[in-house]
Structure 1
């Protein structure tokens, strides 16, 4: 979540295109989201190989 814009006195229509604080926080957030997606994808690829019996118990 980007919080740098909340209560910003310089905020105006279209300021995200020129605000360096917003761009920096956006870049960091995108990097963190990419890391989380990769982590989840890695877990999903491993969990697909798990075998469960009829009761839903891992074999």
Structure 2
């Protein structure tokens, strides 16, 4: 049994949408957030995704 909460699931789902490059405004709309700041609170990228973004620069 885990000690997961709905709040944890919300973070996970948001991150799973953001990591494959779903734009933040679309994620905001899907989650029903009126403010992008709220969406940003839930969007956490894994380090490998941050590194991949940096690699796009060159």
Q: TM-score, normalised by structure 1?
A: 0.28
Quick check: which has more Rg, 1 or 2? 1
Q: TM-score, normalised by structure 2?
A: 0.28
Bigger RCO of structures 1 and 2 (CA < 8 A, at least 6 apart): 2
